């Protein structure tokens, strides 16, 4: 049987790559970005910034971004095509909203079914003019203004994308913009802003809400950025090593932001032999090495309070649960219905096909693990979802390549080197 072995440096983090490009474009001066993730999603952000008048060139392994400042975007001649990238769409809508330009954002079939009003309703309150398809979807036309109103925004739905969009808008708004989160979310934007020496406040209110206060407009001086390795990309190989007998791997240069490695805590509670060693700080983020070896996993309950921190890892956690003894229950997965696919449906459909005892009840998923063998070739569906495709690819190693996966090309959305890294560890 195949096993995972060896040491691997993980590709750059997708979330930070988007933000590194956008904040470099909104800085003044030249930024060198290294270890940028050159995935389809990130390239959508890069090409949209070029359409908005930002000079971006590649020299060997380094990307050079010549920033025009927080009010430096010019009106594009083309539609701004976000492809499959929700991060590109939601963050760039916020970034352009405080510039006096007209922009039309479009996306692929999947992205055009994902809600944009959760962002635009906040932007409309401060003076941006937005026209949405069916009042919620792309294509979207936004008319920005450099006279947006500084107000306090209360974010009801846990979303780092909404928060980041409002932060990017606030960088060019005259006066105090406040953003209040009822549920904490990933804080990559805030960490990168601190690294870039942008002065803003974060505080906890009396009722334990998180409040971010910006006092714009800002002039951000450019600073070189190195992108840390992506923990969500690492999660596939971590689970692979846990479920493939005799596996032992080390993953280097992985970002260890606590809002991104909740899945490691879950896997450890399942009995996973995982060691995390912090090595240094990199552009505001802690990074380190993760060592993993094969383990006998057991089922656990994953509370809904963790869902905001596991949104990208549920597909691969479901693979771990399928190979664990006992029952795993994942609670409160409603947000999974609004990703690249309805991920609850995608997970349940494929694991059922493979003879795993899995069911869905009121946005909760129940999996009874079983180390079953696949004796014949079985067709499985990615639903054009990169994380479903990678999860099935890991399971395919365990099942000795008996899974016929319908569309692996979608993996390039977030991890173009996935197949190369997978083969390297085998």
Which residue, chain included where needed, has tokens 């069911």? 359
Tokens standing for 263?
A: 């899945």
Strands (E), 195-342: 201-204, 210-216, 220-221, 225-226, 248-255, 273-282, 285-293, 301-302, 327-330
Tokens standing for 249?
A: 């791997």
Active-site positions read 312
CA 259 to chain centre: 11
Tokens standing for 9?
A: 């440096």
139 upstream amide cis, omega within 30 of 0? yes
Torsion over CA: 52, 54, 57, 63 (sign): negative
SS3 breakdown of the chain: % helix, strand, coil, rounded to 5? Answer: 35, 30, 35
Dist. CA 312–CA 308, nearest whole Å: 9
Name the helix (H) or strand (E) containing 154: strand 152-155
Helices (H), 34-73: 40-51
Q: What is the CA radius of gyration of the chain?
A: 21
Tokens standing for 408?
A: 């692996």
Dist. CA 353–CA 111, nearest whole Å: 27
Pairing relationship of beta strands 248-255 and 285-293 according to DSSP bridges: antiparallel
């Amino acid at each position: 049987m195949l096993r995972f072995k060896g040491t691997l440096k993980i590709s750059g983090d997708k979330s930070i790559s988007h933000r590194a490009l956008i904040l470099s474009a909104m800085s003044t001066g030249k930024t060198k970005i290294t270890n940028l993730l050159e995935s389809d999603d990130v390239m959508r952000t890069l090409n949209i910034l070029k359409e908005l008048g930002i000079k971006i060139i590649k020299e060997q392994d380094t990307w050079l971004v010549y920033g025009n400042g927080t009010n430096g975007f010019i009106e594009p001649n083309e539609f701004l095509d976000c492809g499959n990238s929700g991060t590109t769409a939601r963050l760039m809508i916020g970034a352009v909203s405080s510039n006096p330009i007209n922009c039309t954002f479009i996306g692929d079939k999947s992205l055009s079914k994902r809600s944009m009003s959760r962002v635009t309703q906040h932007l409309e309150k401060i003076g941006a003019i937005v026209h949405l398809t069916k009042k919620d979807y792309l294509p979207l036309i936004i008319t920005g203004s450099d006279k947006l109103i500084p107000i306090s925004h209360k974010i009801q739905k846990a979303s780092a994308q909404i928060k980041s969009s409002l932060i990017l808008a606030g960088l060019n708004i005259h006066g105090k913009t406040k953003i209040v989160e009822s549920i904490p979310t990933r804080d990559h934007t805030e960490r990168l802003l601190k690294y870039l020496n942008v002065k803003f406040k974060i505080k906890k209110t009396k009722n334990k809400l998180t409040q971010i206060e910006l006092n714009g407009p800002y002039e951000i001086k450019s600073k070189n950025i190195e992108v840390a390795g992506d923990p969500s990309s690492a999660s596939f190989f971590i689970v692979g090593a846990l479920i493939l007998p005799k596996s032992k791997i080390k993953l280097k240069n992985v970002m260890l932001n606590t809002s991104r490695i909740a899945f490691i805590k879950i896997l450890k509670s399942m009995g996973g032999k995982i060691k995390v060693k912090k090595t240094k700080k990199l552009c505001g983020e802690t990074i380190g090495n993760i060592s993993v070896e094969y383990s006998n996993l057991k089922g656990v309950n994953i509370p809904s309070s963790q869902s905001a921190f596991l949104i990208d890892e549920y597909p691969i956690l479901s693979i771990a649960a399928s190979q664990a003894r006992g029952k795993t229950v994942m609670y409160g997965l409603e947000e999974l219905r609004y990703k690249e696919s309805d991920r609850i449906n995608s997970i349940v459909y494929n694991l059922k096909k493979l003879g795993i005892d899995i069911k869905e009840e009121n946005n909760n998923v129940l999996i009874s693990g079983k180390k079953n063998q696949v004796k014949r070739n079985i067709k499985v569906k990615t639903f054009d979802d990169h994380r479903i495709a990678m999860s099935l690819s890991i399971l395919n190693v365990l099942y000795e390549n008996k899974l016929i996966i319908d569309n692996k090309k979608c993996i390039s959305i977030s991890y173009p080197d996935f197949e190369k890294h997978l083969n390297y560890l085998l």
